Structure 1
Amino acid sequence: MTRTSAFALAFALLLPTSLLAQPPDAIDAPMGPVRVETLELEPTVVKTGDLITQRYRVRFPDLIDDGQEIIVLEDRVAPETLPVHPFEGVSLTVEKTRVEDEHIWDFIYGFRLVDPNKMTYVLPNFSFYYLVRDLGEDIEDAEVQQVDGGQGLVRYVTSVTDEPLLDIRDTIELGSFANQATFFRTMAWTVAPLPLVLWLVMLVRLARKPKGLSVEKQQEEDELAQIEAQIPIQPSIWEARRAVGRALGGLQDLPSGAEGDRVREVQRGLVLALRDYLQADLSDLNSGDTALGIQRFVAGLDDGHRKEALAVLTDFLVTYQRGLELGAPSVDNPSADADAISGALADLRPHVRLLNSVKGMFGG
């Protein structure tokens, strides 16, 4: 009986000791769905006004599939409201990521320390607030819960002077001038190369400026310009066609077997009109080509309706040209000649040539 009492007394004395050795929150407090990891503080040695960066990593699961939602109350952990004296919260950046069914939010705080004493300071911990609500439940009806973050050590090596010249606690917001700086920088880079561009333009103009000509060279160019001005402008194909039509009117008015000056004048007009038309239609001809040269050129064209019509016109051109050169112009049948020339001109009209080409494609 005495031995049993001794064991009971020893157990009663050791039980409170083992309970006191455990952390208080490990005994009774259940683990909540939100956990906070306090990462390493940077830098650990600071001077007055240096920015201290502390990252808190908040992890919580996605409970949507279970019909619940976790809401982290970010407005309650704003940097200016944190109880971290003698530190001062100056900035906060939240990086939100998700890995499978777990949300990971990094709260990156910027703190500043202003104190006259050089020593090692402890960045106090503070609480993150959240609530867990059922889907469809009002936020006001959900219970607000909290989880604490960790602490950080900072070695403070520089103190402020007794009478500071600059009040670094001044809260006046001077604004951001980044947009104005970008605008003026762009203008500066735009205007800076303009003088160089102007010099280059002037040099190019001077290099391309024509040099003065000698008196003899200028006289030659003036004479050449006068000669070129006397050369008649080649009429277009439509003007040449109308000129041939007017000349044909004079040919049709001639009686059969007519001779003399009247015939010579009609043939001369037809020769000039036919030459202009052929040179307008055949761009490869030269202005100095003779009637026989034009006839040989037409003979070298590809066979077809166009070649046949041009051959008719060149035959009349050669015939009338030879009559004028021999001094014996004569027209045996003016009406037949006019009909033949008119028919050839009609075959050379664009729409007729297109129709003939289509017929040729289908073997017509």
Structure 2
Amino acid sequence: MSDDSHTPGAEHGALPHFETLAVRTQTGVSTEREHSVPLYLTSSFRFDDAEHARALFAEEVPGNIYSRYSNPNTDEFVRKLCLMERGEEGIATASGMSAVFTAIAAHVSAGDHVLSARAIFGSTHQLFTRILPKWGVSSDYADVSDPDSWERLLRPNTKAIYIETPSNPGLELIDLEWLGALARSRGIPLIVDNCFATPYLQRPLEHGASAVIHSATKFMDGQGRALGGAIVGDRAFLADCRFFARHTGPAMSAFNAWLLSKSLETLAVRMDRHCSNALTLAQHFEGHEAVASVRYPFLPSHPQYALARRQMTQGGGIVTLDLKGGLEAGRRFLDRVRLVTHSANLGDTRTIVTHPASTTHSKLTVAERQAVAISDGLIRISVGLEHVNDVIADIEQALAGTP
């Protein structure tokens, strides 16, 4: 990472508020004295002399060599995210899944074992069940509803514990304080996918996690424009990730880093609206005649409501509706929406609806989906920034065509 970034307040020994860090953490001004950080669209960087090149490659001095390793734009994005998450180090990757893969692959070898929460993103499930086993890495799934299963499934060769909280899409929560303590007691790194909450609502590193994973494609970008991922955590954990990424190449582009860093400037403002809209929508549809159940972390009916209030500042931007009528009801609903978007993404300014059983989690068996609270009629709603009454009206008219 280069050494020309500015962190506001660092010179006084104290960090300012989250929103100020997001706006004012920037790569240093060039000789052009620009106000907005420029794009550094270069694949490589020049050396002062032979000794400078040697020292850079020996990592004796800070600076940039090649944009696969570092770039002023990716450095700014990572520095800003480290401050937000309270992490020591970080790296930016090309996508959220490349961040997941890097965090795991950098710390396991043939014969090792990973313990994961059962409720995880579909592609992460494929990584654990179909890709890592080809290299002799095994995994087990523990259940949120059975705390004893975590200790029971740990092995001497367990090299990582991996979770999502809230989970995608079932919105299951895991007690970070409890699991962080368990991981520390066994000397095993705890890796937390913090994509749904973002560091504005939850900071797992403060509860004992070794690393946090993000798909920056989602709420961080917030407008459905760019792919990106990130890993933030303690220095020792990130050292292995950086070595792995440097030599395997899951690098974020300078343009995407520039875009995502600018997006972080409005993260707090956007998440406040996402959360308030989501809570209003969840409250409205609870008890609706076409809906079997509504799930949202800050809804008192959520089975882990007390935990959500304890470890999150707000409930996030995702709501799920379990429609009466199952698969066909879900299909009819999706075909009837007019204002909201039917897409597989989330975290956008625009409200998006998804049917996980037939799309994002379709590769899971029926039993596997049921185990993580994904019913045939489950609709995941990523609540956007429109006026919430307009979103509610569209969902109401779409539900009118379901049993």
TM tier, shorter chain? under 0.3
Higher relative contact order (CA 8 A, sep 6+): 2
TM-score (normalised: structure 2): 0.19
TM-score (normalised: structure 1): 0.21
Structure ranking higher in strand proportion? 1
Structure ranking higher in helix proportion? 1
